[in-house]
Amino acid sequence: MTGGLGFIGSNYLNIFVPKNLGVRYVNIDCLTKVGSVSNIKVSSCLNYAWEKVDVRNYKKLQKLFVKYRPSGLIHFAAETHVDVSIQNPQLFIDTNVTGTHNLLVLSLKYGLRRFLQVSTDEVYGALESGPGRFSERSPLAPNNPYSASKAAAEMLARSYYKTYRLPVVITRASNTYGPNQDKTKLLPLFITNLLKGIKVPLYGKGLQRREWLYVDDHARAIDLVYRHGKSGEVYNIGGSTELTNLALTKKLLSLTDRNTSFIKYVPDRLGHDFRYALNCSKIKRELGWKPRILFKNGLKTTHEFYLRGADAGRA
């Protein structure tokens, strides 16, 4: 798998490495600033290995395929920050598109029996207000360089299934939250700012709506799709809670004993999508998945994780 020192990948490894001692997990991660070795709690497990390799480097990737002869691959690694993609779109093309293609070429060459492309609900573009939700049959209409690069990676993966019959599956998930997330992302940024008594920057009027998915639920869904998903198919993975960014911010203010004076309204992001929401009936029907973690419980756990980090920093 790739990107295992990052947010979702590390949580996936921490759950499944000790559960599947008969499976060897090779974590390919070049350790960018959004990842950390400390995210991994299973480094002492005999069925875990980390290789510091960039997915953009085809030759080094090929050496790993020769060394380990993997049977399958879960591709987490990606540049994901929308604001950064607006400033530096080339980085997202190089990592998310070229890096994905390198892995597809090698997966085909070495006969992998499964390739899971981890994607995002942002490839669908934006919904307006109302009850509508994106299904797996909704057209892709990405609105920023990040989501466009993820859509392109998906299309490459799909083409390798259609053309070469590489056993590809794709997941598209809603906003994921929980421990180990990079502190530039909304939830950890806002929590850590508020713990320090710093105002939080809220885009526009904070009316954009997002659906929130706890990282453990996301990891379980990915494992199910990897093991039991139908090749060539896409599976939506959505949380059960939809909130405006302002409503979410107010929940964080309450958790950290702050008031609305700690909100700093800033100019809206370029091309800011209004709403994302997913229809997840397919993964529920075919694989029996549904989110288990209530939002209030997941948010409390996430807050406590960053609170422990803040306390450790003060110590």
Concatenated DSSP letters of 6-60: SHHHHHHHHHHTTT-TTS-EEEE----TT--GGG-S-TT-TTEEEE---TT-HHH
Number of Cβ within 10 Å of residue 97's Cβ equals 19
- State pTM to two decimals: 0.95
Q: Which of 29, 54, 79, 121 is catalytic?
A: 121
| pLDDT for 310 | 59
Q: Which of 79, 122, 154, 242 is catalytic?
A: 122
Q: For the stretch 170-193, what's the b/e string if a residue is b when 16 or more beta carbons lie within 10 angstroms of its beta carbon?
A: bbbbbbbbbbbbbeebbbbbbbbb
**pLDDT-based confidence at residue 314 (cuts at 50, 70, 90):** very low
Q: Which of 12, 25, 146, 214 is catalytic?
A: 146
CATH topology of domain 7-180+212-240+275-294: Rossmann fold (3.40.50)
**Tens digit of each residue's pLDDT (9 = 90 or more) over 18-59:** 999 999 999 999 999 889 999 999 999 999 999 999 999 999
Q: How many residues does the chain have?
A: 315
In the DSSP assignment, the letter for residue 237 is: E
Question: Annotated catalytic, 122?
Answer: yes
**Tens digit of each residue's pLDDT (9 = 90 or more) over 150-207:** 999 999 999 999 999 999 999 999 999 999 999 899 999 999 999 999 999 999 999 9
Domain ranges of the chain: 7-180+212-240+275-294
Question: Annotated catalytic, 146?
Answer: yes
> What average pLDDT is seen over the chain?
95
**Tens digit of each residue's pLDDT (9 = 90 or more) over 203-231:** 999 999 999 999 999 999 999 999 999 99
% the chain with pLDDT above 90: 93
Question: Annotated catalytic, 216?
Answer: no
